[in-house]
Structure 1
Amino acid sequence: MAVWDELTGQDDAIAVVRAAAAGATAPGTTAAEGARGMTHSWLITGPPGSGRSNLAYAFATALLSPGDPDGDLATQRQVEARTHPDLAVLSTERVIISIDEVRTLVASSQFAPSVSRYRVMIIEDADRMTERTSNVLLKALEEPPERTVWIMCAPSDADLLPTIRSRVRTVRLKVPGVADVAELIQRRDGVDAETAERAARHAQSHIGMAHRLATNAEARRRREQTLELALGIRSVSDAVLAAATLIEVAGADAKAITEERDAEEREHALRSLGVEPGGAIPPALRSQLRQLEEDQKRRATRSLRDGIDRILTDLLSLYRDVMMLQLGSSSELVNTELLPRLEALSAHSTPADTLAAMDAVQTARQRIDGNVAPALALEAMLITVLRGAAVRKGTDL
């Protein structure tokens, strides 16, 4: 099975990196000859869920596989486990990538590859580097070792410094079609066609979220609850209560994502430190576990923010469907299961009302990014939506 088989809807991007890997890994090709067929630094951009990191790891597998641009199985397994000796990865659960993390990666990039033709350095979410941190990376890109390849991922090339953009080759991903994502989910996760299609549609082609919706009944239930809350608001008190409930929904979603992973990390850490399950932790080792706990707390904060962002994305899909009905568009709806209620809402509001609601969602997202308390931002959003519709109807709240 080729390493590219797990990607979907990105034929043009795959063709670019596969051709580069084929030239770089051709039998009898020297490192200098392979370098002429590709560049030492790449930037993969695309919207969330388009498969940026998946393509990065597939490209890395192809470069690290001996003479096989489609990736051999042994290398693929090592890359998936992040254990390949010539692969270094920088990803973060925090809001920003620290300068020390980048310095460590840059230092590692100076080593010669040990078993492969190249040493591959991957930075996920490269847009989370501050300007000062980016300048540390810039020096490594200006004078890279001959056999080191950098692969960075970001939503847009505009998220990186112009000086970095000028030193990378950009591969842009597009939003895959619902049918493509559904086919991938059905094949990879073993779910039925109907569930895969509904998950891909509700996730709006976000591959990771489609996987979660297809395989997790609680995630599907929480999404349905979000839309029901939005559709049931009739007064300011409803809006305030709904905002509080949405925070609880986001918290439950974040906890479900992080709880199992936190337990696995702690168990692995205890094993690596030689502590038996349930055994007392020696005082000398407690500082290491405290660092793990602090990292997990930061990840929990980010997971809550991500959960709120997913709620806002689902609300936008609701108002987007209403707008499509109001404008008589033939575009496929995201929430077809709610069609009767969507039609009723579209008949009792105007496109201006719907556009104002969508603007309120975006404003809430900006306020939360600016560290406004999420509960307050959601309350203001829902009250704005309700008040805007009431003013246009000439009624009082």
Structure 2
Amino acid sequence: MTTAIGFDAIVGQHHPITLLKTLIRNGTLPHALLFTGDDGVGKQTTAMAFAMACNCRTLKSALASPVKPNAIDACGECAPCKKIIGGHHPDIIQIAPMPSVIKIDQIRALLENLALKPNEADKRVVIISNAQCMNPESGNALLKVLEEPPDRTLIVLTARQTSDLLPTIVSRCRHIHFSPLDAADIEQVLIQVDQVEAQSARTVAGLCGGSIARARKWVDPKWIKRREWIIEALSHVLATGPTHIEPWMALSEILARRKDLVEESLEIITMWLRDLLVARHAPAHVLNKDRLDTLSKTAQTVTPVQLLAYIDAVDHARESLKSNTNLRLTLDAMVLTMSGVTA
């Protein structure tokens, strides 16, 4: 996933890439593919690499003779490849949520486009990113294409998991799952490609849950500094005494000052609380490996039952904020619950 120039640039997804290369070599491409996996593990980049490979003139010529799967990739230099890399190939169609929903009008426009023949591509490729964002109307409209696929057209859907989609859509696609990336792979990419300092790369690679996109977001020094502040603040609250309301309310007040960072902050809090649960019995599996000493000490000040209650309170706050509830009231309710006071 270091650049968008082909399969060889995609890190840590050996099984999906091998399968796609085999389908191309054997000429057994299904009309629809479903890529599932966490955000930032390479689904979108692979979809673009796949579109290039299906239309690369150099690869098409090579496939006239027996080719080993490892040799199957787009050249990045022929006219179709350059158009796809540049984002202006007329037959590579990308659909994404606007901003959080894929609407029926987007699918209707797609159907009108697919009623026409491809302009120039050997294989017209439609990439529907975050397909779980389709509402029922747009999902049912897409079924028409999946049931009667147009000639020379491939459809690639990406989603987090199959359960987020209509079963009828899933059943009409060849499903390929993308696994979380190894921390070592992410660390290597951050250091070699993004020129990230080694210690920061190692820290973020261990925290990001196998998502290179998340790692690239979190490697920002501002994010790392905020994580450090949250860890220190939580450690202070727990050391002071988790039933003391004042430190919790102070934490709520500070979190509420940056509305744009609240979701990010709550995610950091959840990771830290999760690690406090794990630290006592399986320290090798904590995410915040660079703060293992602090984890071990803090874990002695709070019980597993309390930690589970804290995690539930944070999860409830995150869900409430998705419904545009009052920010400060939601955070106050969260910390009051964590302190043992019924909100």
For the aligned pair, the TM-score class normalised by the smaller chain equals 0.7 to 0.9
For 1:4 and 1:237, the matched residues in 2 are separated by 54
Structure having the larger proportion of residues in helix:
1
Structural RMSD (CA): 2.3
Asked if the contact 1:3–1:76 (Cα under 8 Å) also holds between the matched residues in 2, the reply is no
Query: How big is each residue's C-alpha offset from its partner over 1:234-261, in whole Å with a ceiling of 9 and x where there is no partner?
Result: 543433332343244452xxxxxxxxxx
> Does 1:168 pair with 2:173?
yes
Which of the numbers 200, 220, 223 marks the counterpart of 2:224? 220
Could you tell me which residue of structure 2 aligns to residue 51 of structure 1?
42
Which of the numbers 233, 236, 241 marks the counterpart of 2:250? 241
Could you tell me which residue of structure 2 aligns to residue 319 of structure 1?
273
> Does 1:309 pair with 2:263?
yes
> Does 1:382 pair with 2:321?
no
Q: Secondary structure at the match of 2:285?
A: coil
User: Taking structure 1 as reference, are residues 313 and 70 closer, same or farther at Cα in structure 2, changes over 3 Å only?
Assistant: same
5+ long unaligned stretches in structure 1:
24-33, 252-306, 392-397
Query: How big is each residue's C-alpha offset from its partner over 1:198-225, in whole Å with a ceiling of 9 and x where there is no partner?
Result: 22123232211211333x3223223333
User: Taking structure 1 as reference, are residues 240 and 80 closer, same or farther at Cα in structure 2, changes over 3 Å only?
Assistant: farther
Q: Secondary structure at the match of 2:49?
A: helix
5+ long unaligned stretches in structure 2:
60-71
User: Taking structure 1 as reference, are residues 148 and 308 closer, same or farther at Cα in structure 2, changes over 3 Å only?
Assistant: farther
Runs of 4+ in 1 over 4 A off after TM superposition: none
> Does 1:139 pair with 2:144?
yes
Measure how far apart 1:113 and its partner are: 2.6
Q: Give the count of matched residue pairs.
A: 320
The alignment-based identity, stated in percent, is: 28
For 2:54 and 2:105, the matched residues in 1 are separated by 27
For 1:98 and 1:238, the matched residues in 2 are separated by 45
Which of the numbers 13, 17, 20 marks the counterpart of 1:10? 13
For 2:125 and 2:174, the matched residues in 1 are separated by 15
> Does 1:194 pair with 2:148?
no
Which of the numbers 50, 75, 80 marks the counterpart of 1:72? 75
Could you tell me which residue of structure 2 aligns to residue 372 of structure 1?
325
- TM-score w.r.t. the length of structure 2 is 0.85
For 2:263 and 2:111, the matched residues in 1 are separated by 32
Asked if the contact 1:182–1:200 (Cα under 8 Å) also holds between the matched residues in 2, the reply is yes
The 10-residue stretch of structure 1 (336-345 or 43-52) with the greater mean CA deviation from structure 2:
336-345
User: Taking structure 1 as reference, are residues 194 and 22 closer, same or farther at Cα in structure 2, changes over 3 Å only?
Assistant: farther
Could you tell me which residue of structure 2 aligns to residue 184 of structure 1?
189
**Structure number with higher relative contact order (C-alpha < 8 Å, ≥ 6 residues apart):** 2
Query: How big is each residue's C-alpha offset from its partner over 1:295-331, in whole Å with a ceiling of 9 and x where there is no partner?
Result: xxxxxxxxxxxx54332222121011111122x2143
Query: How big is each residue's C-alpha offset from its partner over 1:74-94, in whole Å with a ceiling of 9 and x where there is no partner?
Result: 455533432122101011352
Q: Secondary structure at the match of 2:339?
A: helix
Q: Secondary structure at the match of 2:99?
A: coil
Asked if the contact 2:203–2:290 (Cα under 8 Å) also holds between the matched residues in 1, the reply is no
Q: Aligned letter for 1:245?
A: I
For 1:167 and 1:10, the matched residues in 2 are separated by 23
> Does 1:357 pair with 2:307?
no
Asked if the contact 1:45–1:153 (Cα under 8 Å) also holds between the matched residues in 2, the reply is yes
Could you tell me which residue of structure 1 aligns to residue 233 of structure 2?
229
- TM-score w.r.t. the length of structure 1 is 0.74
Which of the numbers 99, 102, 127 marks the counterpart of 2:104? 99
Measure how far apart 1:127 and its partner are: 0.5
Asked if the contact 2:91–2:120 (Cα under 8 Å) also holds between the matched residues in 1, the reply is yes
Asked if the contact 1:91–1:125 (Cα under 8 Å) also holds between the matched residues in 2, the reply is yes
For 2:166 and 2:235, the matched residues in 1 are separated by 42
For 1:22 and 1:381, the matched residues in 2 are separated by 55
Asked if the contact 1:89–1:122 (Cα under 8 Å) also holds between the matched residues in 2, the reply is yes
For 1:173 and 1:163, the matched residues in 2 are separated by 21
Could you tell me which residue of structure 2 aligns to residue 21 of structure 1?
24
Could you tell me which residue of structure 1 aligns to residue 69 of structure 2?
none
> Does 1:113 pair with 2:118?
yes
For 1:227 and 1:64, the matched residues in 2 are separated by 50
